[in-house]
Structures are given as C-alpha cells and as structure tokens.
C-alpha cells in the first residue's frame, strides 16, 4: 500500500498551504494514521516517541477544528506536556500551523511570571501547559477550562513517571466530559493503559513503533566500562567523529562534571538540568540546535522531549534506571530520515539495568570495544589518575583554576550568555539572547575557547 499524501488526509486548503510553508512534503506514519481519526473527533492513543512527527499529528486537527468555528473568550484546546522545553516546542509548531488561521497558543509553564500567562489564558484558543503551572492557575482562578473541546496528553508516560498524576487528575476534573482526548506516549505500560481506560472513550490505538522498540535506524552499542573509564571512553568517541552529541547523565552534579571535563578538552558544550534557569536552558538548546555547541549534557528529566533534528549521537553516560528511558533516549537519534548512533556505558554495577533494557527491547545491544588504545582515552585516564593521586597540587587544581579563568573570559566575550542565574542580578534575559545571537551561525567545533 502506498503511503498517503497530505491531501489524502482530508486536510483543508489552508492546512495544506501551512504544511507547504513548513516544508513538510509527506506525512510521517503517525500523521498518516492519527490525523484522519483525530479530524473525525475520535479519542486516540498514539504510541509514538519524540521525533516521529506526533506534534503535527495532534496540532493540525486541533487547528482545523478551531479555525472552522472561531470563537474567542476562553481556550478550547489544552495540550499538556511533561517539561517546559517540550511545551515551548509544541507552541513553536503551533505558530507554523495556527498563526495564519487565527489560532494562537498560550504557553503556561513554570519558571516564568504568571501574569502574562493569565492574560493569554483569557484570549488564546490553545493552552500548551505543564501540569504543575496549570494547577497553580486553577488554584488562583486565573484559568478557565470549561470550554475545552480537545485535550492532548503528550508524553503521557513521562508525565505519570514524573509524578504528575495528582495534577492531571485535578485538571481533568475541570474539563468538560464531552471532549476529544488524544494521548501520546512513547511506551504504554500499565499506568498509562489504566489512565487511558479511565479518561478516554473508546480510543483508536495507533502505534508507530511497538511498545519497547528502539529507534530502528540507530546504530546501538554498549561499552562495558568501569566508572573511571566512562569519561575516557566519551572523549575517545567524540574524537572519532564530529557528530552532534547528546550525553545523558544520572545526576545534575555528574552533568556538570562531564561538561567541565569536555570543556577542558576543547569541546563546545552546553548543559541542561533542573538547576539551570529557563533562560540558560533555552540558550543551551538553541546553541545545540544551531551547531554552536556540539555537545549537550543533560539529565534525563530536563532533556525529555527535546526536539532537535539531526542529533547524530546519543550517549548514555549512565545507564537509565527505568528501561523505558532507554527507548526515549535512543529515540532522540535516528529521527525522521536521519540515522544515528546510540552508545551506552555500563559499569559492573549497572549490568542489571542493561539486562532490564534488553528484556524490554527484546534485543541484545551489541557490545562495543572499549577504545583503550585511543590517545584521548589514555590521556584522560592519566589526567584523572594524576589528579586523584595528587589532589592538593598539580594538574587538577591548576587546571580547574585556569579553566575557570578561561570560562570567565569566554563568558565576558560572549556577553555573559551563560552567566548563571544566581550571579545575575541582570534582569534582561532577552539581552543575553541578543548578545549571543551574532555567533549563532558560526559553529566553531574545535579550537581554543
């Protein structure tokens, strides 16, 4: 059977024009399967990870519905997403399809002021929100949800994993019963299935990757390395190609540490985790997206749903504790038509986690050979050993001091684009973006910083 075209999905002329402007030529499988039932008003469970085109699969039908019967006053569609980044990305896609049709999105997320959101909640047609902040608005009486016609739960598995169930329940209690509900999830475990059966009506189920499958095109490898070897392996892998690389670590502190070592080795690296301000996260993401940073180091929660086309290489510096996270993470690479690499580092104490992943994905991850002969591997192992043997003097403290000085000089040159929020009494976030802007298209992948 031939894949359908966008016109065959019964989208309006205006929608087809906006797709044309966005440069989308053919529907992705989730779009081909989800758009017709969504347009017909059916409830839907879509099993699809980030990178499959699921956002347009739910936004296009929403825009079609709202634009067909315009009415202002309070929002008519609500999209819930687990992280701020994902909410912002959904709203960006909504601009593409909604702007020309008079359908606007209010972004309701934490970390920024509530009052501009209050205004947007009054007169925008779609609300794109993280559950926590929307509940705050409900508590303040600044959000009305009684005219919601369509609810989207995006990355439902992650919202439940993150403990948002109480917030979701409170939000759902405020929605009209007669509504359409579209639920998207990369994996469907018991909790998601139970949630879907209590809140959706006779949903159509669509699955573009089987629950538990990993991105089919990603070349996966696992390196059995002890903790001391992880950093050297990472440096050796980075030296072996110039792919854009997303590195996941277990904790915020480890993310900071990995980023520091990579920076010292001359890599352009940004970080995303919960202790970074909204502005810092946004700049890290933008810089990674446009190639200014080659490496983005992130904790899983913060990086969830990141929409960056063409991530070449995903590295699990630490094995994910929840096997489903492996599927999510590997889904960041091999998106759309691109192929990618996924490398995971498993220390002896993480072997059980590795087995859990292999059980879930029903496939053994090929073992990679630890590149112990690579110069980068050896140099880093030696540097770390020297620093450990002699912490009071020599390599490490001097290196770190020099590094801090270099980082400070670098920040000054870049107009303090990455100045930590704690140091910033500077109020003007937009100015940071502006001062950082001119360097956006000058990817300098090596060289001194």
Interface with ligand AMP in residues 62-121 (CB under 6 A): none
Query: 7 in helix, strand or coil?
Result: helix
Question: Please, what is the minimum distance in Å from the beta carbon of residue 103 to ligand AMP?
Answer: 17
Closest CB 332 distance from ligand AMP, rounded Å: 10
56 belongs to the binding site for ligand AMP (CB under 6 A): yes
Span from 8-16, 24-32, 167-175, 322-330 in contact with ligand AMP (CB under 6 A)? 24-32
CA–CA gap between residue 386 and residue 397 (Å, rounded): 11
Smallest gap from residue 426 Cβ to ligand AMP (A): 32
- CB of 217 vs ligand AMP, minimal distance in Å: 14
Instruction: Output the smallest distance, CB 128 to ligand AMP, in A.
Output: 13
**Which residues between 289 and 328 bind ligand AMP (CB under 6 A)?**
307, 309
Token pair belonging to 260: 């520091």
Instruction: Select 51 or 340, whichever has its Cβ closest to ligand AMP.
Output: 51
Burial class (CB in 10 A: 0-12, 13-18, 19+), 218: buried
Tell me: does residue 24 bind ligand AMP (CB under 6 A). Answer: yes
Work out whether 3 is an interface residue with ligand AMP (CB under 6 A).
no
Q: Candidates 53-61, 168-176, 221-229, 427-435 — which segment interacts with ligand AMP by CB under 6 A?
A: 53-61
Which of 37, 38, 54, 107 forms a contact with ligand AMP (CB under 6 A)?
54
Which residue, 53 or 203, is less far from ligand AMP as judged by CB? 53
Rounded to 10 degrees, the C-alpha dihedral 56/60/62/64 comes to 180
Q: How far is the CB of 55 from ligand AMP (least distance, A)?
A: 3
**Applying CB under 6 A, what is the total number of residues that bind ligand AMP?**
15
Instruction: Kindly state the smallest distance separating residue 32's Cβ from ligand AMP, in Å.
Output: 9
Show the binding pattern over residues 211-250: x = contacts ligand AMP (CB under 6 A), - = does not: ----------------------------------------
53 binds ligand AMP, rule: CB under 6 A: yes
CB of 307 to ligand AMP, least distance (A): 4
Angle at the Cα of 22 from the Cα atoms of 20 and 28, rounded to 5 degrees: 85
Place of tokens 């910083």: 449
Residues 314/327, Cβ–Cβ less than 8 Å: no
Residue 47 contacts residue 208 (beta carbons within 8 Å): yes
At 131 the three-state DSSP class reads helix
Whole-angstrom CA distances from 77 to 11, 30, 74, 133, 201 are 18, 20, 9, 17, 17
Cβ within 8 Å of residue 364, ≥6 positions away: 358
Q: Quick check: 52 binds ligand AMP (CB under 6 A)?
A: yes
Among 240, 336, 351, 409, binds ligand AMP (CB under 6 A): 336
Instruction: Check residue 50 for interaction with ligand AMP (CB under 6 A).
Output: yes
Nearest to ligand AMP of 59, 235 (CB atom): 59
How far apart, in whole angstroms, are the C-alpha atoms of residue 142 and residue 264? 47
Rounded to whole angstroms, the Cα distance separating 230 from 64 reads 49
Characterize 414-438 residue by residue with b for buried, 16 or more Cβ atoms within 10 angstroms of its Cβ, and e for exposed.
bbbbbbeeeeeeeeebeebbeebee
Does position 27 interact with ligand AMP (CB under 6 A)? The reply is: yes
C-beta of residue 314 within 8 angstroms of C-beta of residue 294: no
Q: Which helix (H) or strand (E) holds 343?
A: strand 341-346
Contact stretch for ligand AMP (CB under 6 A) within 48-56, 217-225, 246-254, 394-402: 48-56
- What is the smallest separation between the CB atom of 4 and ligand AMP, expressed in angstroms? 12
Least gap, CB of 411 to ligand AMP (angstroms)? 30
Give the position of tokens 């390395």: 225
DSSP state of 428: -
Nearest 10 degrees: Cα torsion 276, 187, 244, 25: -120
Which position among 33, 55, 180, 299 is part of the footprint of ligand AMP (CB under 6 A)?
A: 55
In angstroms, the CA 274 to CA 291 distance is: 23
- Which range, of 52-60, 136-144, 229-237, 252-260, touches ligand AMP by CB under 6 A? 52-60
Site residues (vs ligand AMP, CB under 6 A): 24, 26-28, 31, 50-56, 307, 309, 336
């Amino acid at each position: 059977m031939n894949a359908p075209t966008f016109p065959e999905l019964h989208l309006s002329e205006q929608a087809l024009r906006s797709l044309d402007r966005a440069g989308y030529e053919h529907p992705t499988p989730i779009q081909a399967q989800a758009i017709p039932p969504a347009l017909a008003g059916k409830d839907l469970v879509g099993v699809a990870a980030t990178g499959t085109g699921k956002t347009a699969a739910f936004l296009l039908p929403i825009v079609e519905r709202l634009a067909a019967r315009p009415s202002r006053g309070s929002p008519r569609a609500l999209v819930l997403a687990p992280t701020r980044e994902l909410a912002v990305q959904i709203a960006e896609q909504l601009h593409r399809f909604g702007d020309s049709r008079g359908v606007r999105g209010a972004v309701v997320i934490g970390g920024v002021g509530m009052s501009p959101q209050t205004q947007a909640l009054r007169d925008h047609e779609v609300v794109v929100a993280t559950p926590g902040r929307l509940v705050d608005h409900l508590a303040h009486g600044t959000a009305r949800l009684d005219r919601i016609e369509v609810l989207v739960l995006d990355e439902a598995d992650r919202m439940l994993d993150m403990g948002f169930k109480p917030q979701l329940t409170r939000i759902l209690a405020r929605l009209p019963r007669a509504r359409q509900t579209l639920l998207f999830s990369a994996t469907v475990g018991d909790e998601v299935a139970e949630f879907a059966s209590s809140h959706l009506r006779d949903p159509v189920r669509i699955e573009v990757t089987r629950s538990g499958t990993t991105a089919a095109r990603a070349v996966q490898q696992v390196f059995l390395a002890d903790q001391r070897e992880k950093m050297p392996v990472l440096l050796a892998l980075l030296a072996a190609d110039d792919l854009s690389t997303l590195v996941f670590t277990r904790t915020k502190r480890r993310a900071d540490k990995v980023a520091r070592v990579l920076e010292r080795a001359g890599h352009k690296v940004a970080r995303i985790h919960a202790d970074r301000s909204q502005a810092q996260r946004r700049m890290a993401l933008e810089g990674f997206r446009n190639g200014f940073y080659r490496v983005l180091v992130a904790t899983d929660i913060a990086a969830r749903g990141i929409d960056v086309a063409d991530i070449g290489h995903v590295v699990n510096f630490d094995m994910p504790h929840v096997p489903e996270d492996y599927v999510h993470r590997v889904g960041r690479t091999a998106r759309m038509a691109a192929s990618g690499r996924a490398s995971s580092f498993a220390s002896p104490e993480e072997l059980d986690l590795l087995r859990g992943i292999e059980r879930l994905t029903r496939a053994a991850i090929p073992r990679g050979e630890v590149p112990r002969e690579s110069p980068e591997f050896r140099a880093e192992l030696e540097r770390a050993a020297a620093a450990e043997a002699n912490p009071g003097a020599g390599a490490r403290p001097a290196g770190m001091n020099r590094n801090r000085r270099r980082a400070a000089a670098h920040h000054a040159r870049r107009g303090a684009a990455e100045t930590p929020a704690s140091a910033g009494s500077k109020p003007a976030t937009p100015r940071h973006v502006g001062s950082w802007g001119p360097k956006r298209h000058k990817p300098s992948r090596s060289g001194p910083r």
